[in-house]
Amino acid sequence: MQPSNKRAFFRVNLKIPLSALLKIIAVSGTKTDTKHSRIAIKDISAGGIRMHSKLDLPIHVNLVLEFTFQLFNEPVKVIGAITRKTKLDDSLFEYGIQFYLDVNKERQLMAYLNMLSTRLRAQNVLGSCSFCSDDDLDEFYNEDMKNKLIHGPVPEV
């Protein structure tokens, strides 16, 4: 028996991550203003993202996060919260993020993601979207991790 997939939205898996900015805008209900930090979005849906970050964010604190990235030459700004955290290595973490979107923003994001999914069938990177550059990838990933990210795991012989 296969486990059920509880996702309400289709997910776009990205071979090359989207480069985005993360900002903490509230902690436990209190507004705050932090600097932006660069993150790498590994997959995205209208319900949330899976992202990689150098930041070791607490998951037992109610953080409200703002994410900014570009899709088809349009800035996209969404609000979300951490749902899960995994340590990938000493200085890299993977987070599951749930978005808090109104119906209009959700529809707009779904339209962008439908277009993104279609266009990524022909190529891995689109110039009109904020995909990670080689420098961005070098900032986040060591060589081994970058190769696995781009080429997939090496089969054992």
The whole-number mean pLDDT for each consecutive block of 10 residues of the chain, a chain of 157 residues, reads: 58 94 94 94 96 94 96 97 94 95 95 95 91 90 74 58
pLDDT on residue 154: 55
Q: The tokens 């932006």 sit on which residue?
A: 36
CA proximity to 138, closest of 130, 127, 149, 129 = 149
CA distance 103 to 123: 30
* Fold that domain 12-134 belongs to in CATH: Thrombin, subunit H (2.40.10)
User: How far is Cα of residue 91 from the mean position of the Cα atoms in its chain?
Assistant: 17
CA proximity to 49, closest of 76, 13, 87, 77 = 13
pTM higher than 0.85 for the full model? yes
pLDDT in tens, 75-121: 999 999 999 999 998 889 999 999 999 999 999 999 999 999 999 99
Lookup: tokens for 69: 């990235």
Residue 18 · residue 40 · CB < 8 Å: yes
Lookup: tokens for 15: 């071979």
Domain ranges of the chain: 12-134
Q: Where are the beta strands (DSSP E) in 2-147?
A: 12-27, 30-31, 37-45, 48-53, 63-71, 74-89, 92-99
- 153 backbone dihedrals φ, ψ, rounded to 5°: -65, 145
pLDDT on residue 3: 46
